[in-house]
Amino acid sequence: MIVASAGNALVWIVWLAAAGACIGSGIAVISFRNPFFSALALIGNLASLAVLYLLLSAEFVAAAQVLVYGGAVMVMFLFVIAYIGPQQESPWAGGPTWQSFAAVVAAGALFVEILVVIGMKAGGELGHAAPIGSSFGSPAEIGRLFLTDDLLAFEITSIVLLVAAVGGVILGAHARRQPWGSADAEAPHFDALRPGKTDART
Amino acid sequence: MIAGAWICLLSPLAAAVLITLGGTRTSRHTAAYLSTLSCFVAFAGAIASFVGLLGEEPSQRHHLSTAWIWIQGGSYRSGLSVLVDPLSVMMMLIVSGVGALIIAYSIGYMDGDDEERRYFAYMSLFVFSMLLLVQGGNLILLLAGWGMVGLSSYLLIGFWHHRPAAIAAAKKAFVMNAIGDATMALAFFLVIQKTGTLSFSALGQLHGGWVVNLVALGLLGGAVAKSAQLPLQTWLPDAMEGPTPVSALIHAATMVTAGVYLIVRTHAAFELAPTVQDVAAGIGGATLLLAGLVALVQTDIKRVIAYSTMSQIGYMFVGVGVGAYGSGMFHLMTHAFFKALLFMSAGIVIHALAAEQDIRKMGGLRRLMPRTFWAFLIGALALAGIFPFAGFFSKDPIIAAAVAKGGGLGYVLAAAGLIGAFLTGLYIFRLLILVFLGEPSPFVREHFHALERNLVGVSMSVTVAVLAVLSVVGGWIQWTPYYDPVDKWLAPVAPPLVTPTHWQEWVFTALSLALALVGIGTAWLVYGAHRIAVPKLPFVQRTLEHKFWFDELYDVAFARPVAALAVWLRDRFEQPLVSGVGKVGDDTREVGGLFARLQTGLLRTYALAIASSVAILAIVFVAVR
Amino acid sequence: MLGPDLAWYLAVAAFLFCTGALGVLLRRNPLIVLLSLEIMLNGANLALIGYSRHLANGDGQIFALAVMAIAASEVVVGLGLVVALNRRQAPLDVDRLDTLRG
C-alpha cells in the first residue's frame, strides 16, 4: 500500500534522524572537555530518545523522559555545573595508557558481544512484533499497571526517591571538616603491610 | 553416727565453697568465722560418730556408708563412701578438733592480712581434704584426699605469693609430695591388677612374694614423702615459709601424720611384706636421729620446731614399723596437741616481735610475755616426754615396743629412740632458753609489742590455753602398763604385732625420762648458765647447718640435670617451632600486603575491572552454551 | 510495526550503553562520568521500551519508568558528592580521589 509504504518510509526517515542524533550526541557527551557542553549534548540525546520512544508507541514514557530527565535531572546538572563554575580543567583522560587502551577494548568488546548474543538468541524473532492495542503505552495503561500488577515496584521506587532526597540534603549540609589535603583529613596509610616491616599499630 | 561422719566431712567443704563464692562481697571476718564455725561443726560431727561407735560392740565397729557409685570401668567399681571405724573416728577427732582450734587462732594471727578470705577458704579446703583422706572408704578416696592435702599444702605454703622464697618452698613441697603420689599410684595399679578392687580388704588378699612387697614399698614411698621422712624430708623445713597457723595445722598436727595413718590403715599389706615394714621402722629411726641433730643448730624458731616434727614422726614410724599401731597412733594424737601448742606459741612470739623469726635476736621474753612462756614450757616438757605431760605417756611405749620386737633391728631402733630422747630435750630447751630466758635483747627492747585485749589477742591466747591444757592432760588417757584404752580402741582395726612386757616398759620409760632430763640439763648448762661452751667442731657444725647436705645432693642429682634438659629442649625444639609459627604469620601478612595492592582507591580502575569482567564472562557464557 | 525492526533499536541501545561505558572508563571529570552513566541508563531504557513494544507487554515501560526514577536519585546523590567535594576544595579529578587506597 502506498500509504503503508509512505508511512513506513516516513517512520524510517524519522527513525534515522533520531537515531543519528542519539548516537551523535552520545559521542559528543563523552568527547567535550567542558562539562557544560557535555550536559547540553545529553539534553539533545534525551530528546532524540523521546522521539524513538514515540516511534515505539510508548507515549507516556516519552513524555516522562522529557519532563523528568530533561526538565529535572538535566536542569540540576546545569545548576551544579554553573555553581561549580570555571575551574582548573582536569585532564581529558589520563592515567596509564594501558588503562585507556583496555577501556576502549572492553567497551568495544561489550558492544560486539551484545550484538552477537542478541543475534544468536533471538535472531529470528526480532522481525515479528506482537500486535498492540490502542491503549498501549497510554497514561491510563501505565497507571493501571502501576497500581495493580507492579504496585511493589511503584512503592519501592518511592522509597528510594525519598532516601535519595534525604541523602542529598545531608550531602549538601554545611561542611564541618577540614579542607581536602590538610593533615587531619588524611587517612592513615598502612605501611605495615609492605613486606619487611612489622605492624606496630595493632 | 553415719550422719555425723558425713557432716564432719562436708562441713568444711561447704565453708570453703561459700567463702570462695562470696569473694569480696563477704567481709574478712565473715570468712574467718565461717571457716572456724565449720570446723567446730565438723568436730561435733566427729563426736557424734565417736559416741555412736562407743555404744557398739568392738567387733561391730565398722560402717561403710556409700553415697553413690563413682567410678565404674569393666569389673572395677568405686563408690563415694565414708568409713566409720575406730581408726577413722580417732583421726576425725584429732583433725577437726585441733583444726578448729588452729583456725580459731588464725582469726587473730591473720587479722589485717590483705587476703584473709583466701586463707580461710584454703584452710577449710585443707580440713576437708584431710578428713576425706582419713574417712575415705576405699583406697581411691584416700588417694583423692592425699592429693588434695598436697594441693592445699602447696596453696598455703605459697600463701604470701609475692615472696619468692615462699613460692619456691611451695613448689618444692608439691614436687616431693608428687614423688610419693606416683609410687602410691603404682602400688594401687598393682593392687587392681591382682585383686580387681581398691577396697581396704583387698590389701589383705595380696598373698605372694614380690607383688605385695612392691605394693608395700609404693605405699611406704607415699608415706615417706607426705611425712617428710628420709630421703624425702627436705621440703618440710622450707615449708615454714607459710603462715604459722599453716605450719601448726598442716606441717605438725595433721598432714604430715597422714603417712602414719596410711601405714596403720594398710597394715595388712605391710604385714604381708615384713621386710618393707622393717624398712619403714628403719627409716623412722634414721630420721629421728638426723632431725634431732639438725635441730640443734637451727636459728629460726619455726625451723627448730619443724625438725622436731620430723623427728617425732620418725618415732611414729618406728612405732608402726614394729607393729605397735596403737602406740604410734597415740603418739600421733599427743604430738598433735603439743606440736600445735609449740607452733602457736611461737606464732605469738613472732607476732609480738613484728614477724622476726631469728632466735639469735631474741631473749628474755619471759618477763614480757609470761603466759606465752608458760605455754611454751608446757609444750617443751610434753615434747621432751617428762612426766606427767602428754609426751611421756606416748613416746616411751614406742621404744619399749621396739625392744619387744627384738632382733638386731629392734635394739638398734630402741637405742636410736633413747638417743633421740636426749636430743629432743636438748634442742627444745635450747630453743626455750634462747628465746625466753635471760635479759631482753636490744632487738626485743626495740620491737616488742604485747598482745592487746582485742579479738586478735583473745583468739590467740584462748586457743593456746586450750592446747596447753590438752598437752597436760591429753596423755592421761593411756598409760600402757596400767590401762590402755587407746590400744583397745584401735585393736579391731589394727591389732598390734608386739606387746612389751611390764619390765620392758618400766625400764625404758625410766631410761628415756632420764636421758630427757640429761638433755634438758645439758641445754641449761650450755645456753642458760653458760658453764659449758658449745663444742667447736667445724665440720660437724657445717654438716648440721647444711642438713647433712641433702639439699645439695638433690640439687646436683636432680634439679640441675632436669633444668639443663629443659633448656636444651627449649633451644632445640621449642624455639624453632615457635619461630616457625611466627614465620607463618609473617608470610600471611606478606600475602595480604600483595592483595592490598589491588585496592588502588581509583574509581576508574574498579570500573575497568567490572567492565572487562563482564565482557569476559559474556564470552564464557556464550561459549559454554 | 512500522519502521525498523526491533533489532535496529537494540543496536542503538547497545551503542549508547557502550558509549556511556567508555565515557565512565576514560573521563576524569566526575561530572562527565555522571553524564556518561546517564547515557548508559538511557541505553538500557531504550532496550526495555523496544522489547516492551515487541512483546506487547506494558511491564517494560514500567521498568523503564522505575529506572528513570532511580537514575534521578542517583544523580541527586552524585551531584551532592560533587558539590561536597567542591566545597572542600578537592580536585575534581577521579584519579586523584584515592583516599581508599590501601
β-sheet bridge partners, residue B593: none
Interchain pair C46, A84: CB under 8 A? no
User: What percent of chain B shows pLDDT beyond 90?
Assistant: 48
Interchain pair C73, A90: CB under 8 A? no
* pLDDT for position A93: 66
pTM, entire model = 0.68
What is the number of structural domains in chain C? Answer: 1
Show the cell assigned to C58. 506494558
Q: Count Cβ atoms below 10 Å from residue A116 Cβ, excluding itself.
A: 13
Which residues on chain C are in Cβ contact (under 8 Å) with B613? none
Tell me which residue has cell 565512565: C24
Show the cell assigned to B605. 580502575
CB-based contact B279:B259 (threshold 8 Å): no
Interchain pair A102, B618: CB under 8 A? no
Considering A80-94, B13-27, B280-294, the range whose residues carry the highest mean pLDDT is B280-294
- Let me know if residue B256 belongs to a domain: no
Show the cell assigned to B210. 614380690
Taking CA–CA distances from C97, the nearest residue in chain B reads B602
Chain A contacts to B (CB-CB under 8 A): 95, 99, 102-103, 106-107, 109-110, 113-114, 116-117, 120, 190, 192-195, 199
Taking CA–CA distances from C99, the nearest residue in chain B reads B601
d(CA B266, CA B250): 22
| Interface membership of B51 toward C (CB under 8 Å) | no
d(CA B540, CA B376): 29
Give the range of the structural domain holding residue C62, as residue numbers without chain letter.
Answer: 28-93
- Let me know if residue B147 belongs to a domain: no
Residues 25-84 of chain C whose Cβ lies under 8 A from any Cβ of chain A? 25-29, 31-32, 34-36, 38-39, 42, 45-46, 49-50, 52-56, 58-59, 61-66, 68-77, 79-84
Interchain pair B599, C94: CB under 8 A? no
DSSP state of A146: H
Phi, psi of B191 (to 5 degrees): -60, -45
Query: Residues B227, B233, B239, B244: is their CA dihedral positive or negative?
Result: positive
Kindly report the CATH number that applies to the domain delimited by A1-85.
1.20.120.1200
DSSP for B260-329, please give it.
Answer: HHHHHHTHHHHHH-HHHHHHHHHHHHHHHHHHHHHHTT--BHHHHHHHHHHHHHHHHHHHHHTT-HHHHH
pLDDT at B453 over 80: no
- Let me know if residue C8 belongs to a domain: no
β-sheet bridge partners, residue B483: B479
- Let me know if residue B592 belongs to a domain: yes
pLDDT digits (tens, 9 = 90+) for B587-604: 898 898 888 887 777 888
- Let me know if residue B607 belongs to a domain: yes
| Interface membership of C7 toward A (CB under 8 Å) | yes
Q: Which chains touch C (3 or more CB pairs under 8 A)?
A: A, B
Nearest to B611 among A110, A190, A193 (CB): A110
| Interface membership of B615 toward A (CB under 8 Å) | yes
- Let me know if residue B217 belongs to a domain: no
CB-based contact B239:B251 (threshold 8 Å): yes
What is the number of structural domains in chain B? Answer: 1
Amino acid at A16: L
Give the range of the structural domain holding residue B600, as residue numbers without chain letter.
Answer: 573-624
Interchain pair C35, A29: CB under 8 A? yes
Nearest to B618 among A107, A117, A199 (CB): A117
User: Rounded to a whole number, what is the distance in Å from the CA of A201 to chain C's nearest CA?
Assistant: 15
- Let me know if residue B139 belongs to a domain: no
Interchain pair C98, B611: CB under 8 A? no
pLDDT digits (tens, 9 = 90+) for B36-79: 999 999 999 999 999 988 888 887 778 888 888 777 777 777 78
Q: C-alpha angle with apex B377: B375 to B380, nearest 5 degrees?
A: 110
| Interface membership of B618 toward A (CB under 8 Å) | yes
Taking CA–CA distances from A192, the nearest residue in chain B reads B593
Residue ranges per structural domain of chain A? 1-85
Tell me chain A's radius of gyration from C-alpha atoms: 24
Task: State the pLDDT confidence band at B193, using cuts at 50, 70 and 90.
Answer: confident
For C56, counting Cβ atoms within 10 Å of its Cβ (0-12 exposed, 13-18 middle, 19+ buried), the class is middle
- Let me know if residue C18 belongs to a domain: no
Interchain pair C95, B611: CB under 8 A? no
Nearest to A195 among B593, B608, B611 (CB): B593
pLDDT at B479 over 70: yes
pLDDT digits (tens, 9 = 90+) for C36-79: 999 999 999 999 999 999 988 889 999 999 999 999 999 999 99
Amino acid at C59: D
Interchain pair C99, B601: CB under 8 A? yes
pLDDT at A2 over 60: no
Show the cell assigned to B172. 618444692
B87, B96, B271, B540, B614 from B610: Cα distances, Å: 88, 82, 91, 93, 6
Helix (H, G, I), strand (E, B) or coil at B545: helix
**Average pLDDT estimate for B332-359:** 90
Residue B561 neighbours by CB under 8 Å, 6+ apart: none
Show the cell assigned to B589. 601478612
- Let me know if residue C5 belongs to a domain: no
For B8, counting Cβ atoms within 10 Å of its Cβ (0-12 exposed, 13-18 middle, 19+ buried), the class is buried
β-sheet bridge partners, residue B79: B69
d(CA A150, CA C59): 8
- Let me know if residue B186 belongs to a domain: no
Residue B48 neighbours by CB under 8 Å, 6+ apart: B1, B3, B4, B7
Q: Chain-centre distance of CA B203, in angstroms?
A: 25
Residue B557 neighbours by CB under 8 Å, 6+ apart: none
List the one residue out of B279, C52, C72 whose CA is nearest residue A64.
C72
Show the cell assigned to C27. 573521563
d(CA B372, CA B342): 10
Q: Count Cβ atoms below 10 Å from residue C77 Cβ, excluding itself.
A: 17
Which residues on chain B are in Cβ contact (under 8 Å) with A110? 611, 614-615, 618
- Let me know if residue B521 belongs to a domain: no
Q: Which chains touch A (3 or more CB pairs under 8 A)?
A: B, C
| Interface membership of B596 toward C (CB under 8 Å) | yes
Size of interface B-C (CB pairs under 8 A): 31
The residue count for chain B: 625
pLDDT at B150 over 50: yes
pLDDT at A194 over 50: no
